[in-house]
Structure 1
Amino acid sequence: SMHFFELAGPDLLLGFDADPATRNVVGVIQANPELAVKAVRLRAFGQEIIRKLGAKRIHPNHSIPGGVNAPLLADDRDEILSQIDDHTEVIKTAIAIGKNWFESNKEVVENFAVFSSGYMGLVDEQGGLQLYDGALRLVDKTGKKLEEFDPKDYLEYIGEHVEDWSYLKFPFYKKMGWPKGIYRVGPLGRLNVADKINTPLANEEFKNFKALGGGKPVEGTLWYHYARLIEDLYAIERAKEILLDPDVTSKDLVADPGDFVGEGVGCIEAPRGTLLHHYKTDANGMLTKVNLIVATGHNNWAMNNAVDMVAKAFVDGKKLTEGMLNRVEAAIRAYDPCLSCSTHAIGAMPIVMEMVDADGKVIDQIAR
C-alpha cells in the first residue's frame, strides 16, 4: 500500500514530467486529499497491527526461532477485525485507480521496459499464491513450468553470475545457464507463476491480471504496480481469515525444536520478492557460513535491463532532463529494490545520471 500511494503514486498519478516540487507525497495529497488521508490511515493500520503483535512499530519484539514470544490478545484481535472491512475498501479503490491509469496510459505501459524473462515465486500444493511456505516454482518466458522444488535445494537450481562493474551478483537458472536463465521475482513474478489466489476478491482481480498476458506471462515493468495492489488485497483478506481462526489467540507459541542440525535454509516471499537465507553453524550454534540471495539480487539483471531500455527510449542523446531521470528512476522503483541489503553495504545518495559519448567522455550529467 505504501509503495503504490507514496512511491509509485507520484509518478503514476501526477506524471513523469511533473515538477519535482509537487511530484511527491505532498503533491498526491494536494491532488486528492480524501484518498491520501485514507492511504495514510491504511499504512497506519498495518503499523498498528505490528505494534499489537510486537509492542512497537519499528523493530518489534515478536518473532523468535520456532515461533513467537507472545500471543495476540483477544481485545486486540477484535479491534483489528473491526477496521478490516473499511481498509479493504481503500485497497479496492486503489486498484480501481490503478486500473484506470493503466487503461488511460496504454501506450506508456506497452512501451516502458517491456521484456521477456523467467519468473519465480512460492506456490502451495495446488499452485496457489504463497508467501510463507510451499515450493519455489520457476517458469520460462512463455509461462511453461521449468521447476518446482523445495527451497532447501536452491543450490541445485540457482547459480550466481558476477560482473566486474557491480557489487551485486546476478542469479540465474543453472540448467539454462547465464544469461538465458535470468528470471524475475516479486509481485509480477509471484502472479506469473501462480495458478490462483486463495482469497475470493484477490482471485477475481488475479483473473483480470492473467488475461493481460493472453495465456503467457505479463511482461511490462509497470504491471508490477497492479500485481502489488492485487497482493495487497490478498494480504488483507488473508489477515481477516487468520483473525477469525480461534487459534490466533492460542498460547501455544513455539514449536518443538527437535534435534540440533547445524544447517538450515529459510525461504519466504518479502513484498519485493523471494528471500533465501542459508545458515551453517558449529556445535555451539555460532555461525560459520551464511549465504543470502534476496529479492533485489534475483531482480538485478531485470533492473539493469529496464534502465537500459528506458534510457534508450527516453534519453535523446543531447541534454538530460528531470523527466528523463525520473523515468529511469521509475524503472528501478517498480522493483522496490533495497541495494544496501542485497550488497550488505550502506547505500548512499545522490543518484547521478551521466550521458557519455562513444569515447566514454561525459557530455552531460544530472543528479537527484
Structure 2
Amino acid sequence: MSQVISIHPVTRIEGHARIDIHLGESGRVRDARLAIASLRGFEQFVIGRPAEEIPRIVTRICGICPWMHHLAAVKAVDGCFGIQPTASGHLLREFCQILAHIHDKILHFFFLAAPDFILGPEEDLSVRNIMGLVRREPELANRVVTMRQLAQQMLARLAGKAIHPVAAVVGGFSKPMGEEERGALLADARRLLDFACLALEFAKERVFGRLVDEFGTLGTITTGFLGTVDTGGRLRLYDGQLRLMDATGAFVEFPAQAYEQYLAEHVEPWSSAKMVYAKCWGEGFSLNPDNPSGVYRVNTLARLNVCDAMATSRAQAELEQFRHHFGRPAQATLLYHWARLIELIYACERGLELLGDERITDPAVRNPAQPGAGRGIGHVEAPRGTLIHDYSTDANGCITRANLIVGTTHNIAPMNLSVHRAAAALISEGEVDEEILNRVEMAVRAYDP
C-alpha cells in the first residue's frame, strides 16, 4: 500500500515549506516534493503604482533580506527612467548590500544550520535548535549574536532602517556619508572581518569535518550553476555579468537585461512557486530525478563555482583551498555551508574596500530623475541567489508590468531533486524516524531557502 510522509513545516529555514515523500508498495521512495504553498502576489499588486514607490514596497517580500529587493528594484526603476546613480550613490548602495549579506550569512550558518553539525541530527528536536546551541556553546553564541547585531546596527546608523529600508532612491542614495561616520564604520567593519575569519576557522575545526565525512553525499545532485562576475571573472554581489555554467564547467555570460534569452520560468501544479530553468541549453525542463534537464543552482556554492577568482585576498586564499579539496564545479549540496563562510569573508573585505574609496563620502549622492515610459531590469546577488526585478512603466512613470525572479526560485527545482536523493538514500521498507526526517530537511536547509 502506498504511503505519503509529510514534513510540515520544514524547520530552520527562512520561510514556509512542506516536504511530501511518496512511498511505493515496497516502502521505498517513489517521489519526493518540496511544496511552497504561500502566494505573495507582488508582481500583480504593484501594477499601477508610481515606480518610485516600488523599492519601498518590495522590501516586504522578505523580512530577512529586504535590502536585496530594495536595491534590485531601485536599479530597475533607474533603468525605466534612464538614469544612472552618482558614484557615491552607487558605492553607498553596495555598502548597504554588503552589510545585509554579512548579517544574513551569520544568521543562517549559526542560527539555522549549525545545530545539525554541532549538536547533531540525532539530538531531540527540543535540543537541536539555536537555544540548544546557546547552552552547548555559550561563548560562541554570545559572539555570534553580537556580530550579527553589529552589522544590523551599522545599517541602521547609515541608512536609518536595517529592515524595510527606504534609503536607496531613484538616481542614487538619500543621504551622504560623513567622514566621522566613515571612521566609525571602518572600525566596526574590521571587527566583522576578524569575526568572519574566526568563524571559518571554527567551522573547519568543529563543523566541516563532520559535514564532509558523515553527511558528504546527502542530497548531492549534478547540475549547472548561475552567479555574477565582473569583467575579469571575479565574484561580485552588486554589479556584473551573469555567468551560467553547465555541469562540465563550460559557461556563457550575459547581462541581466538579456535574462529572457537564457532563462525561462515554469510552474508545477503542486507548488505555487515558480521554477526557473536554463532554456539556452535546449533541453527543456524536467524534474525526473534520473534524468533532470535545464536545472541549475544559485546561492553561495554556485557563485564560488562560476567565478574564476574572488576579488579580495583572504577570500581568494580560502577559495583556492576549497577548490584543492573539491574541484570545480563542486557539486556536493552541503558544501553550500562552507561556501557561505568564504563568501562572508569576501563580504567583510569588500565592505572595507568600499569604505576606503574616497568617493563614498562625496555629498553628490543622487542624480535627478524624470518619470517616464521605459523598461528597467535590475539585479543583485541576494544571499539566496541571483535576484532579478523587471519593470515596465507608462508615460506617467507608473508600473504596467512586473516580473520578479527571486533567489530561492532558481533553487526550487534542485531542492526538489536533493530532497528526492536524500529521501531515497535514507528510507527503505518504509521505516522512518525523526533523525531520518531531519536529515532530509538538512538537504533543503543547505540552500538557505
Alpha-carbon distance in 1 for matches of 2:430, 2:246: 38
| Counterpart position of 1:142 | 248
User: Is the counterpart of residue 125 in structure 1 residue 238 in structure 2?
Assistant: no
The C-alpha deviation readout for 1:12-65, integer Å capped at 9, x for no partner, is 211111122221111111222111111111101110111012213322331112
User: Is the counterpart of residue 202 in structure 1 residue 315 in structure 2?
Assistant: yes
- By how many angstroms is 1:10 displaced? 0.9
| Counterpart position of 1:228 | 340
**Alignment CA distance shift 1:96-1:253 (3 Å):** same
Using the TM superposition, name which of 224-233 and 97-106 deviates more. 97-106
| Counterpart position of 2:212 | 106
Alpha-carbon distance in 2 for matches of 1:320, 1:109: 18
Structure 1 runs (4+) deviating above 6 angstroms are none
| Counterpart position of 2:79 | none
The C-alpha deviation readout for 1:191-238, integer Å capped at 9, x for no partner, is 100001111111100111222333x31111110011111111011111
Using the TM superposition, name which of 25-34 and 72-81 deviates more. 72-81
Alpha-carbon distance in 1 for matches of 2:211, 2:150: 31
Structure 1 regions of 5+ residues with no counterpart? 338-368
| Counterpart position of 2:365 | 253
Structure 2 regions of 5+ residues with no counterpart? 1-105, 287-292
SS of residue matched to 1:131: coil
SS of residue matched to 1:298: helix
Alpha-carbon distance in 2 for matches of 1:284, 1:52: 34
CA contact (8 A) 1:50 1:60 kept: no
SS of residue matched to 2:350: helix
- By how many angstroms is 1:108 displaced? 2.8
One-letter amino acid matched to 2:297:
R
User: Is the counterpart of residue 243 in structure 1 residue 349 in structure 2?
Assistant: no
One-letter amino acid matched to 2:149:
A
The C-alpha deviation readout for 1:103-143, integer Å capped at 9, x for no partner, is 24433343211111010011000000011111100111011
SS of residue matched to 1:111: coil
SS of residue matched to 2:271: coil
Alpha-carbon distance in 1 for matches of 2:135, 2:185: 29
CA contact (8 A) 1:127 1:196 kept: yes
* 1:153-172 to 2 correspondences below 5 Å: 153-172=258-277
For the aligned residues, what is the CA RMSD?
A: 1.7
* 1:172-321 to 2 correspondences below 5 Å: 172-176=277-281, 177-179=284-286, 180-214=293-327, 216-257=328-369, 260-321=372-433
- By how many angstroms is 1:316 displaced? 3.7
User: Is the counterpart of residue 81 in structure 1 residue 216 in structure 2?
Assistant: no
- By how many angstroms is 1:8 displaced? 0.6
- Larger relative contact order (CA 8 Å, sep ≥ 6): 2
Superposition TM-score, scaled by structure 2 size: 0.72
CA contact (8 A) 1:6 1:25 kept: yes
User: Is the counterpart of residue 331 in structure 1 residue 443 in structure 2?
Assistant: yes
- By how many angstroms is 1:261 displaced? 4.5
| Counterpart position of 1:17 | 122
User: Is the counterpart of residue 49 in structure 1 residue 167 in structure 2?
Assistant: no
The C-alpha deviation readout for 1:303-355, integer Å capped at 9, x for no partner, is 11111111112234434322122222221111111xxxxxxxxxxxxxxxxxx
Alpha-carbon distance in 1 for matches of 2:305, 2:321: 12
CA contact (8 A) 1:42 1:90 kept: yes
Superposition TM-score, scaled by structure 1 size: 0.87
- By how many angstroms is 1:244 displaced? 1.7
Alpha-carbon distance in 1 for matches of 2:197, 2:345: 7
- By how many angstroms is 1:175 displaced? 2.5
CA contact (8 A) 1:123 1:135 kept: yes
Alpha-carbon distance in 2 for matches of 1:52, 1:317: 57
- By how many angstroms is 1:83 displaced? 2.7
CA contact (8 A) 1:71 1:249 kept: yes
CA contact (8 A) 1:102 1:109 kept: no
The C-alpha deviation readout for 1:146-174, integer Å capped at 9, x for no partner, is x1001101111111223222212221111
**Count of residues in Structure 1 that have an aligned counterpart in Structure 2:** 335
- By how many angstroms is 1:258 displaced? 7.2
Alpha-carbon distance in 1 for matches of 2:256, 2:434: 42
